[in-house]
Amino acid sequence: MGPIAVAIHGGCGTLARDLQGEAQWEETRQHLAASLRAAWAILRSGGRALDAVEAAVVVLEDSPHFNAGYGAALTEAGDHELDASIMDGATLAAGGVCAVRTLRNPVRAARAVMERSDCVLITGPAADEFGRRCGLDVVPNDHFTTARRVEALAALKARARRGTIVPASEAERHGTVGAVALDREGHLAAATSTGGFNNKPSGRVGDSPIVGAGTYARDGVCAVSGTGQGEIFMRRVAAYDVAARMRYGGASLDEATRAVVFEDLHSHGIGAGLVAVDAGGGIVAPYNTLGMARGWIGADAAVRVGTHAEMIEMGAA
């Protein structure tokens, strides 16, 4: 049996450290650790990478500290439209939903699309209805609203009125969650979920539900989940590009991901990051912003999480 590994991110839109109290940062770290442990419990017992990434993302979707599910960004209309995708590296099967409004855990809906439909992507009211028919948890749209997101929307609208929207921080604008995993059978999987960006136009769809842009997994190569301005990730087919650099160009995981984050994506002047795992259990989490909520469990079974430069060990998995 081979090695197992899991890595997660909570978005490259991390607040400056002094913008919230230590108790909130500690709770964020605890939620990252809980996400990792949920995935690790599946992997350790011989479970599938696909189940592990779904479990990890569900924990992050249910946390108010990340821009996905509960705590998601608000559109310009003051409501929520959520996107997610999941991909099985063993078969290249994938599923996604975008602009859903009433499904508590969009990543579960993405998996249902993959396994219970002939589609890869279902959008809008049809995706909500599909999730309801599949028996997924349904909530009112305002279930996802938190005071922090209301304040962020008001701040961005004020910036727009003043004409200062461009210098808004990554934390004010963007955020995503994602997970990648390798199981004992050597199978890889990835999942990504987001509320998009604060003050986004209604109907906007980013990279998170798009296979190859924000999410990609292929056995024998790597699994990738990205975070940053989705329009650029789509134009660069960023997640797939990592895999292509490795499969066709012979790059290592570190070489491929650093080139995508620090050269390709950075050349557009955007904040970006990702987590990725390769077929040997190697883990990377590059980002070019102030910080990126992230964490991983690798060969030593230690839980490591971070929000800014330093990583903190949270004990054994």
pLDDT, one tens digit per residue, over 250-301 is: 999 999 999 999 999 999 999 999 999 999 999 999 999 999 999 999 999 9
Cα-based torsion angle of the residue sequence 36, 274, 113, 56 in order, rounded to the nearest 10 degrees? 10
pTM, full prediction: 0.95
CA 20 to chain CA centroid, nearest Å: 22
Any alpha helices (H) in the chain, and if so which ranges?
A: 22-44, 49-61, 106-116, 124-133, 147-162, 170-173, 230-236, 238-247, 253-258
Q: From the CB of residue 46, how many other CB atoms can be counted at a distance below 10 Å?
A: 11
Rounded CA-CA distance 256/282 in Å is: 13
Residue 191 β-bridge partners: 86, 179
Give me the domains of the chain, ranges plus CATH numbers. Answer: 5-309 (3.60.20.30)
**Mean pLDDT in residue range 185-203:** 96
Which residues are known catalytic residues?
176
Q: What is the pLDDT of residue 158?
A: 77
Tell me: pLDDT of 163 over 70: no
Tell me: pLDDT of 151 over 90: no
**Mean pLDDT in residue range 10-23:** 83
Burial 178-211, CB ≥16 within 10 A → b, else e: bbbbbbbebbbbbbbbbbbbbbbeeebbbbbbbb
- Tens of pLDDT, residue by residue over 73-82, are 999 999 999 9
Q: What is the pLDDT of residue 157?
A: 74
Q: What is the pLDDT of residue 171?
A: 52
CA distances from 234 to 101, 113, 207, 272 (A): 23, 21, 6, 13
